[in-house]
A and B are shown apart, each in its own frame.
Chain A
Amino acid sequence: MEILNYIHDNLAEKKNLPDFRPGDNVEVYYKIIEGAKERIQVFRGDVLQIKGHDSHRTFTVRKLSNGVGVERIFPMASPNVADVKILKRGKVRRAKLYYLRELVGKKAKIKEKKYKK
């Protein structure tokens, strides 16, 4: 275990992703390598879940594309996840928002969290 931790501490890229949570609306900047070229693709949607531990953490982002639900799973430690931007903070009452998959239209909307200033 000690050795495993040592490897992850040394090999995992240190990244400063913002502290986003399930329910947040985020933009994920994902690096795509095409031959010699590298470009960044943006995936915008709601964070459904964050799972895993240490360097194996992943998060799932769901969006509606032409009326079809699309989900992508991103590993937190992947060098291809360049950045994550939080657009809206969601007000949700659970950690895994699987129930959103069943809902459409206005019911599938996540209420925005209002901050007291």
Chain B
Amino acid sequence: MNGLVGKKIGMTSIYDASGSNVACTIIEALPNYVTQVKTSESDGYNAIQVSFGSRKEKNVSNALLGHYKKAGVAAGQKITELRDSTLEKKEGDAITVDEVFEEGDIVNAIGSTKGKGFQGVVKRYNFKGVGDATHGQHNRQRAPGSIGAASTPSKVIKGMRMGGRTGGNRVKIQNLEILKIMPEKHLLLVKGAVPGFKGSLVIIEK
């Protein structure tokens, strides 16, 4: 897997070659610096570990700071491993947008979705609710309905969908097209939506 860590900037729309207006997400993928190269001999698997962004040294633990120092990389915001990368990089090397991607590539985007707190089943699982708004009904419109039978089995089966914490999950959106690369500003324009808040970090993998 080749990829990069980037920051979601927001969404906009651009015109493609055929003149249609396409919605896209802007990702600012500043150079990722290699902090460690893992090999199957020494670590049991092949991967490169990269660091994204920057952080003040006083906010980084000494253990992590030592790890950065060893690679000769300034302290970063997030460390990510890219398994089985085909890029030949050494510790301290930078990975830039145009090295990894080309326009028209099909990529996956991994990020954390927006946290929505405790939500009912209508929002969480797209239930339809129960019953009418009128005809004497009340407080049933967003209800889950029946959650099982009665004395047999006299329990609610495991995995029954109910209300609860929603969002904030790690999600991979597959098969997004790269519409445009602007290496001078380290920008990527990816077709469609990408999980997470503006400013959240996303992994774009090829």
Contacts and interface: CB of A to CB of B under 8 A. Distances in A.
Interface in A40-92: 56, 75, 77-80
B14 A3 contact: no
Given A8-B12, A11-B14, A3 B19 contact: no
A4 interface: yes
* B interface bracket (residues with beta carbon within 8 Å of A): 10 to 19
A79 B20 CA distance: 9
A3 B26 contact: yes
Contacts of A75: 21
A31 interface: yes
Contacts of B18: 33
B15 A79 contact: yes
Interface residues of A, number: 16
A7 interface: yes
A10 B182 contact: yes
A74 B46 CA distance: 52
B180 A4 contact: no
A7 B19 contact: no
Given A33-B19, A78-B15, A78-B19, A11 B10 contact: no
B81 interface: no
B15 A7 contact: no
Contacts of B180: 11
A4 B10 contact: yes
Nearest to B9: A3
A51 B143 CA distance: 42
Contacts of B203: none
A99 interface: no
A31 B15 CA distance: 14
A80 B19 CA distance: 6
B22 to A, nearest CB: 11
15 contacts: A3-B9, A4-B10, A4-B12, A4-B26, A6-B185, A6-B187, A7-B12, A7-B187, A8-B12, A11-B180, A31-B19, A33-B18, A77-B15, A79-B19, A80-B19
